[in-house]
Copies of this chain bind each other. A is one copy, B any other.
Amino acid sequence: MFLHGQGELALGSRLKAVSESLYAAANVAYRETGHDLDAHWFPVLRYLQVRGPASVTEIAAAIGQTHPAVSQLAAKLRAQGWITRRADRSDARRGVLELSADAERKLDRLGPVWCAIRRAAAAAAARGGGTLLDALGAFEADIASGRLAADIRSHHARLKKAKIDIAPYRSDWAPHFERLNVEWLQRWFTLEDVDRAVLGDPQTHVIEPGGAILFATLDGEVIGTCALLKEAPGVYELSKMAVESGFRGFGAGRRLLDGVIAEFERRRGRTLFLESSKRLGPALQLYESGGFVHHPAPRPGSHYQRADVYMVYEPGKTAGRRAKAAPRKHLRVVGR
C-alpha cells in the first residue's frame, strides 16, 4: 500500500483505518457469538459496568471523549433499554446513568468474547515486533487476511469449551489479586487502609500468617480470586472474593468458595467467618448456599467500615446449596 512508504507521515490515516477495522472485527465477533451490541458502546458500557452509575461528564472525562458524544450515545442506549437515567439529588444539573438489570446481565456474560478479542489483538500487535509502525503493519496484514477475525473465533471457541480451574497462590499473580479486588472495591465502596495493605502485599499479609489465596482461571486467564485469612489460631476469615465482571455467572464464585472452605478444613480450623455488606445481594446468596449463616450482631472489632453483614460457616447448612444451584444449570453449560 502506498501509505506504508510514507512512514510516520501517514500514521494518522493508518491508525484511523485500523481503528475502524478493529471495531468491525469486534462487531463480527459479537454478532457471531449472539451478543447484540456495538463495539462503539464499549467504553461507556464497560465504564458503567466496572465503576457503577456515573454522570455524563464523568464518563466523558474517563474515556477521553467529549460530553456530547457520551450524551448522544446515552440517549441511544436509553432508548434501547441498556441504561437508565435518574436525577442526581445533590445536583439538579447532573443525571446519573446506570446499567439496566438486563444490560448488567448481558455484560456479565461477555468475558469470553472480550478475552478472545484481546488475545487476538495482542497476538497481532506482537507479530510486528519492535516499533509502532511494524506493529501497525502486522495489524493491517492480519486484518486484511482475515487472520484477526479467525483468531478471535478460535480463541472464543477455546474459552467457551474451557472449564474453570482453581489454582493456589502464585506470587506472579499477586497483581491479579489486587486488580480484581480493587475493581469492585472502587465500585461499591472505597479502598480502606486494611485493603491497601493486604492487596499490596498478599505474601506477608495472607500467605505467611498461615492463610491462603485461590485463583479461578479459564483457559489460563485469571478471572477470579478469594482469600482465606488466618485471624487467630483456629479462626479464619473468608475475604477478598472477586470475580471479574464479564465472567460472572460461570460458577467461578461457587468454585472459589468451595476451594476456600476446603483450605479451611485442611487446616482443621474451628471458626470460619466473613464480613460483607447488604448491598452485595448475589454474593450473600452465594455465601448462604455455601453453608454460611447470618449472625445477628455485627462482629465486634471489625476492621472494615463497610461491613454490615457478619456470617459464620456451619458445615451442616449446605442443604440449600443444591436447590439454589439448580436454576443455574443452563449457565454452567454455557460456561463450559
Contact = CB atoms under 8 A, between A and B. Distances in A.
Among A6, A7, A47, residue most surrounded by chain B Cβ atoms (within 10 Å):
A6
A64 B17 CA distance: 8
A217 B10 CA distance: 23
B125 A1 contact: no
Contacts of A15: 15-16, 18-19, 22
Contacts of A22: 11-12, 15
A43 interface: yes
A117 interface: yes
A128 B43 CA distance: 23
Interface residues of A, number: 46
A3 interface: yes
Interface stretch (A130-138, A257-265, A321-329): A130-138
Contacts of A62: 1-3
Contacts of A39: 12
A8 B125 contact: yes
A63 interface: yes
A279 interface: no
B12 A46 contact: no
A82 interface: no
A42 interface: yes
Given A19-B16, A46-B6, A11 B131 contact: no
A16 B122 CA distance: 17
A12 B8 contact: no
A126 interface: yes
A11 B121 contact: yes
Contact of A9 (B14, B18, B114): B114
Interface in A41-58: 42-43, 46-47, 50-51
Given A3-B64, A12-B39, A64-B17, A131 B135 contact: yes
A64 B132 CA distance: 19
Contacts of A12: 19-20, 22-23, 26, 39, 42
A217 B193 CA distance: 60
B42 A10 contact: yes
Nearest to A8: B121
A125 B114 contact: no
A133 B132 CA distance: 9
A125 B133 contact: yes
Among A3, A65, A128, residue most surrounded by chain B Cβ atoms (within 10 Å):
A3
A125 B12 CA distance: 13
Contacts of A26: 12
Contact of A10 (B11, B43, B135): B43
A13 interface: yes
Contact of A8 (B50, B122, B132): B122
Given A8-B118, A9-B121, 4 more contacts: A1-B64, A12-B22, A13-B63, A15-B15
Nearest 5 CB-CB pairs, A to B? A125-B132, A132-B135, A8-B121, A15-B19, A12-B22
